[in-house]
Structure 1
Amino acid sequence: MVEENWLEDAKIRQIVRERYAKVAEGRQEKASCCGPAAPTESPTMNCCGPSAITETPSLNSCSNNTCSPIELPADKVGDFLEKYSSELGYSEEELKSVPDGANLALGCGNPTAHASIKEGETVLDLGAGGGLDCFIAANKVGKTGKVIGVDMTPQMIDRARENAKKGNYENIEFRLGEIENLPVANDAVDLIISNCVINLSPNKERVFNEAFRVLKPGGRMMLSDNVLLKELPDIIKENKDAYVGCISGAIMKDRYLELIEEAGFQDVEIMEESTFSTIDFLLDDPIVKTALEEQGRNLEELKNLEEYITNSSIKVKAVKPN
């Protein structure tokens, strides 16, 4: 039974790794429900999970027309990504301070906003992606501090390292590894951040145990993540595109908080909670709405997807006791 679970976990990780490798290489044609993907030669948006090439291109609960990519004009993608990130809590100053290509807009919040990052601290980012939150943290910890970004996708690590070179960052190190088995020593970091990544892990209990291990006594954790407010129907739970889209891998909010406490953390607190809807955001944007209308898309059917997906983006703070 344990072996079967391990095989299933490994399969999930491989699916996630393959999809986000496409994002890192600019081959991703759709966006995740966490947000838009990086700009490509044919920029597109999608509300039903990412997939450039997929065996199941849409959730069975909606038509192919509803879940097919939303094509955006190439010259509008940059502005759209910045607008989306602003909605998630990033300031204009923060977005302009990071290297081009670091903001893949794959998050569901800004974990650095409530983290109270101090100069000289060591910060660890779980699932660093293109490095957006790492670069923001690096600017705060200064030359006497250090930021470690861990990601299990080699292509993401390559992209993040290239971004670090472009920005001349010397206080960041990107490490290849799984967040369930962190390549970090015990009691090594002051702060852990993560942005819409833990929901993708098939073993969240292990993630929180590892986070507890690598934090110094008195260290803190600040997470942005998606959680469920009600259980998903099986048809969405079993859809791999919904998993990599940060939907079906999410767990109930109460259970998420329990796992953090069971790992040993104290003072677990939701700092901010939002039912921010990617679908609403897309439909409210005039660029996207025009693109949808030109493609003859059924806006009401797209809107009805929210009936099946009732989740929340939370910002959670927790402390490792001294």
Structure 2
Amino acid sequence: MNSGIPLHIKQLVKQQDDIHLGPIDLELEPNMTYALLGPNSSGKSTLLKCCMNLMKPASGIIEIYGRSYPQDEHRIKQLIAFAPDPLEGCELFTLGQMGDMIAPWYASWERSHFLRRAEQFKVPLDKRYEKMSQGERKKVALTLALSTQAPVLLLDEPTNGLDINSRNRFKEMLVEDAERIERTVLMTTHAIEDIRQFADQILLLKNGRIEGPLEKDRLIQSWRRVWLSADKLPDLSVIPGVVEYNGYPYPHLITRNWQETLDSLNANQIPIVRDQPLSLDELMERLLNE
């Protein structure tokens, strides 16, 4: 069992072409899955590569369970695994060969575990990476990362290219591992279904800065669309939580704090016709565009 903060980023700054990150401060808790969201070219993949020391930040510190680069790199690489999108420099290798190369790095590597993962994903051990489809390449990266059994897992667009069966197998593997390993997962994604199925917490990468973590379930409960009776329309200036009001075709508002808004509407005797949570895709879009 490792003690301390699984991933702790302090004042990280990184400039890469048109991407500027930072300063970023972030702490991830054990046994949680974080979805990192942001527009294209916002720096999500760059941030993961900095966490692996594949890219060097201009300044700042990255710690894995209290260990930092470069002095503790050998130990850190035993505690963290990365599934990039795509794997680079592996074109001439098979999954079996890549497994043999990675195995010595991880004391927790078990060949039987690795073979079972490959079989579950139905990905061949003897086929060169360059000849694989996009979905097969993704399954190779996930097979290798999951087989390390590392307590910190960085996943770049983990379901990109996966079919429905493979996505379900991936979810089952994460659930199975959670019963044995206290693991922290940080995944970048554009897929709403990934957020719905996997994420406990949401991280927003906007203009080089991180907002969050934001608890997914609490967000879903807090953001709501509310239809009101036209008989007594509200004065928005006295209603907390409201971010939008529209009178067409029926009076309705959107709140980011349902309980506060509900209390205020009741206190002001403003009738509620009905209410419903925002869809997850609309909620994520609003958070990213705020």
TM-score normalised to the size of structure 1? Answer: 0.28
More helix by share: 1
Relative to its length, the structure with more strand (as a share) is: 2
